[in-house]
Amino acid sequence: MQIIIHEGNAAHDVIVPLLNNGLKKFENWNPQVISAEVFCREVAGSTPENKQVEIKLNIPGNDLFVSSQKNLYEAAAKDAMDKLRRQMRRRKDQLKKTI
């Protein structure tokens, strides 16, 4: 699986290994995963929760997309991966029901 991380102003040494380790687990769950694209950016605004992480997981059929906005990139990345895990579980259950 290819992992592409787009970082705007958020070049952190902590978030890249966290994302790599977390996203590689999704390949174990579903070997059909082609690639993952991650966008880390700061959202303009006065709220303290201005760090946004978006993950797009390319899977044959339908791609999965999640977004999370928190006060730290690490928290946003963990939340986004949790949301992605729930989406994958839901998709897997739907595929089992159709068979």
pTM of the model: 0.88
Question: What strand order describes the sheet that includes 35-42?
Answer: 2-7, 35-42, 51-58, 64-70
Which CATH number characterizes residue 55's domain?
3.30.160.100
Confidence at 9, pLDDT banded by 50, 70, 90:
low
In a 10 Å sphere around its CB, with 0-12 CB exposed, 13-18 middle and 19+ buried, how is residue 46 labelled? exposed
Confidence at 58, pLDDT banded by 50, 70, 90:
very high
* CA 79 and chain centroid, separation: 9
70: domain range? 2-98
Q: What letter would DSSP give residue 43?
A: P
Share of residues in the chain with pLDDT > 90 (%): 49
- Does 28 score more than 60 pLDDT? yes
- Does 97 score more than 60 pLDDT? yes
Question: How far from 49 is each of 24, 29, 67, 88, CA to CA, in Å?
Answer: 27, 31, 13, 26
What average pLDDT does the chain have? Answer: 88
Q: Structural domain tally of the chain?
A: 1
Nearest to 26 by CA among 94, 73, 96, 87: 87
Q: What is the dihedral of CA 58, 44, 83, 81, to 10 degrees?
A: 70
